[in-house]
Amino acid sequence: MPTQRIQTEARKFALQNAILFNGKANEKAVAGKVIAALKKDGVTPAEIFPVVVKVVTLVNSMSAHDQLTELTSLAPELLQKEKKERDFSLPPLPFAEKGKVVTRFPPEPNGYLHIGHAKAAIIDYEYARMYDGKFILRFDDTNPENAHPEFYDAQKEDLRWLGVEWDSEYHTSDHLETHYKLAEQLIKQGDAYLCKCTSEVIKEGRFNAKTCSCREDRTGEEALDLWKDMLASPEVSGILRLHGEMGSDNTAMRDPTLFRVIEAEHPLTGDKYHVWPTYDFAGAVEDSISGVTHPFRTKEYELRDPVYFRILSLLNLRAPHLMEFSRLSIDGMPVSKRKIKPLIEQGLVTGFDDVRLPTLRGLKRRGIVPEAIKQFVLQQGFSKVESVVDFSLVESVNRKFLDSRVKRYYFVPTPVQLSVDGAPKKTVKLSLHPDATLCWRRAHPRDC
C-alpha cells in the first residue's frame, strides 16, 4: 500500500474531523476512520498511525476556511454524510410558517414528569424553535382533585433540567370565567344541555346509543337556568353535555361531558369554583384561544379528535392543526403516572426518583443525561405507529454523551500480591480517562 493512499485518506478524514471540532482534528478519531477505510486492503494500524499524526498536525495548522475549501473539493460527500448522521431534526410541520408556529406542553400538575412527558415537551419545544415560533407551558389544572401545589414547580424544575425553555406559561384554571361564558353560548345555541341522570344511566345510554330525556325535554332556557344554578351552588348536581351524535359509531361523540361538579380545594383558586371543564372542552378551547397553531397529543386521543373540532366549530373558534404521535412505550418500564403511582404506594419502589422508574428524576439519578433523552426522543421521531423500545437504546445514546467526559475507575476483585526480586522500582500514574492517558504518554514517552 503506497503511503500516498494512506495520506489521501488521512487528509480527508482529518479535514472532516477538524471542520466538526472547531478546526482541530483528533488523531485517534482520524486514525479510527482511516483504519476502517483501509482495513480491506490489509493496511495495519502501525502503518497508518505515523502518517495520521503528521497529517493531523498539518491540517490543524490550516485556517477553518482553508480546511472547508479543501474538503469541499477533495471529498464533498464527507461534509454531507456527517451532517446526515448527526441530523435528528424533526420532519417539517404541515401549514407551518416561519415565525408563526405556536406549540404548547400541557401537563396536569399531578406528579413528576416521566420520559413520556419528555417526548411531548421536546417535540413541542423543538418545533417552536425550528420555526422561530413560540412555546407555551400550560398547566391543565381543571381537575382540582388531581392538581397539587408542589407539582407546578416540580414539573418546571424537571423541564429546566431537560433543557426545555418556554416563552410563556399559564394555568387553564386562570381562564375559567371564559370557559363558563363559552359554555353558556353552547347552551343558548342548543348545542349543550344539562343532564341530571346518574352515571349508570349515562353509561348505559352511551352504550346503547340512546339519548336521555334531559336532552329532549329541556328547552334552552330551562337548561340555562339549571346551568346557572349549578354554577351558584355545588349542591345542584348535574353535568353539561355536548349535543353530539348519539348514533355515531365513535362512542366519544355520544354526547360527551363538557363540565362537571368537583368539590375539592383547588391549589390556586381555592373553593372559588366547583364546576370544572373536562379535558375535551378545556383542551380544545385553550389550544384555540391561546393561539396554538400545532397542538400535539398522543394517538390514544384519536377518537376524541371529532369532539375537539366539533366544540371549536360550534363556538366559532379557530381550529388549530391537531398533530398526533405515538405514546412512548419502553419494554418492562411503567411509562405512565397510572402505572407508577401504585408502585410507590405499595412500597415496591422507593419514590418518584427511584432509579428503576422512567421519571426524569429517576433517570437523572440513574446517570442518564438530559442530552441523551433529547437525542433518544428525536431519533424515535414522532410516527403514529405504536412501538415498544428497549431501555438499552436510551443507555446506548447516553453512553455516547458520557464516554468523553466520565472518569473510569477500575478495581481488581481478588488481587494477588506478587514479589519480583530485583525488579526496578517504578511509579505508574494512571489517568482517569483513556484520552488523557494518551496525552500523558505522549508527554512522558519514557515512562510508558
Active-site choice (188, 228, 299, 327): 327
- Only one residue has cell 372559588, namely 272
Task: Find the largest Cα–Cα distance for the chain.
Answer: 107
Give 203 or 399: the residue with its C-beta nearer to Zn ion.
203
Q: What grid cell was written down for 120?
A: 411531548
Helices (H) and strands (E) counted in the chain, each on its own, are 18, 11
H or E element that contains 192: strand 192-195
Stretch that binds Zn ion, among 24-32, 127-135, 205-213, 430-438 (CB under 5 A): 205-213
Alpha-carbon span 71 to 93, nearest angstrom: 33
Among candidate residues 165, 163, 221, 154, the one with its CA nearest the CA of residue 193: 221
Stretch that binds Zn ion, among 7-15, 207-215, 284-292, 347-355 (CB under 5 A): 207-215
x/- mask, Zn ion, residues 149-188, rule CB under 5 A, reads: ----------------------------------------
Min. distance of Cβ 218 from Zn ion in angstroms? 9
Query: Smallest gap, in angstroms, from Cβ of residue 213 to Zn ion?
Result: 6
Kindly provide the b/e burial profile for residues 330-356, where b requires at least 16 CB atoms within 10 angstroms of the residue's own CB: beebbbbbeebeebbeeeebeebbbee
Q: Which stretch binds Zn ion (CB under 5 A): 107-115, 213-221, 388-396, 417-425?
A: 213-221
Of 163, 126, 119, 121, nearest in space to 138 by CA: 121
Q: Least separation, in Å, of the C-beta of 196 and Zn ion? A: 6
* Residue 93 sits in the site that holds Zn ion (CB under 5 A): no
- Residue number with CB closer to Zn ion (212 or 230): 212
Alpha-carbon distance 315 to 286, whole Å? 12
Collapse the DSSP code of 397 into the 3-class scheme (helix H, G, I; strand E, B; otherwise coil) and give the result: helix
From the list 128, 137, 214, 252, which residue makes contact with Zn ion (rule: CB under 5 A)? 214
Establish whether 337 is a catalytic residue: yes
Catalytic residue among 12, 27, 33, 108: 108
The site that binds Zn ion (CB under 5 A) totals a number of residues, namely 4
**Taking CB under 5 A as the rule, does residue 258 contact Zn ion?**
no
Binding of Zn ion by 195 (CB under 5 A): yes
Which residues, including other chains, have CB under 8 Å from residue 118's CB and lie 6 or more apart? Answer: 162, 360, 373, 374, 377
Catalytic residue from among 218, 254, 304, 337:
337
Q: Return d(Cα 70, Cα 64) in angstroms, integer.
A: 10
- Which part of the chain contacts Zn ion (CB under 5 A), choosing from 204-212, 250-258, 327-335, 417-425? 204-212
CB of 231 to Zn ion, least distance (A): 19
| 246 near Zn ion, judged by CB under 5 A | no
By CB under 5 A, tell whether 197 contacts Zn ion: yes
SS (H, E, C) 64-94: HHHHHHHHHHHCHHHHHHHHHHHCCCCCCCC
Stretch that binds Zn ion, among 52-60, 166-174, 193-201, 368-376 (CB under 5 A): 193-201
Torsion angle, CA of 284/290/293/294, rounded to 10 degrees? -60
CB of 109 to Zn ion, least distance (A): 32
Q: Which C-beta is closer to Zn ion: that of 201 or that of 438? A: 201
Closer residue to Zn ion in complex, CB, 132/204: 204
Contact range with Zn ion by CB under 5 A, out of 132-140, 197-205, 382-390, 439-447:
197-205
Of 239 and 323, CB closest to Zn ion: 239
| Of 147 and 194, CB closest to Zn ion | 194
E strand or H helix at 323: strand 323-325
Q: Length of the chain, please?
A: 448
Residue 226 CA to residue 241 CA, distance in Å, equals 13
Nearest Cα neighbor of 275 from 234, 220, 241 is 234
**Three-class DSSP category at 355:** coil
Output 218 or 297, the one with its CB closest to Zn ion. Answer: 218
Instruction: Give dist(CA 256, CA 307) in Å, integer.
Output: 8
Find the shortest distance in angstroms from Cβ 258 to Zn ion: 14
In the bound state with Zn ion, the residue whose beta carbon lies nearer, of 155 and 278, is 278
Among 102, 212, 372, 394, binds Zn ion (CB under 5 A): 212
Nearer to Zn ion, 145 or 204 (CB): 204
Q: Contact at 8 Å (CB) between 277 and 141?
A: no
Least spacing, CB of residue 259 vs Zn ion, in Å: 14
Positions annotated as catalytic residues are 108, 327, 337
Footprint on this chain of Zn ion (rule: CB under 5 A): 195, 197, 212, 214
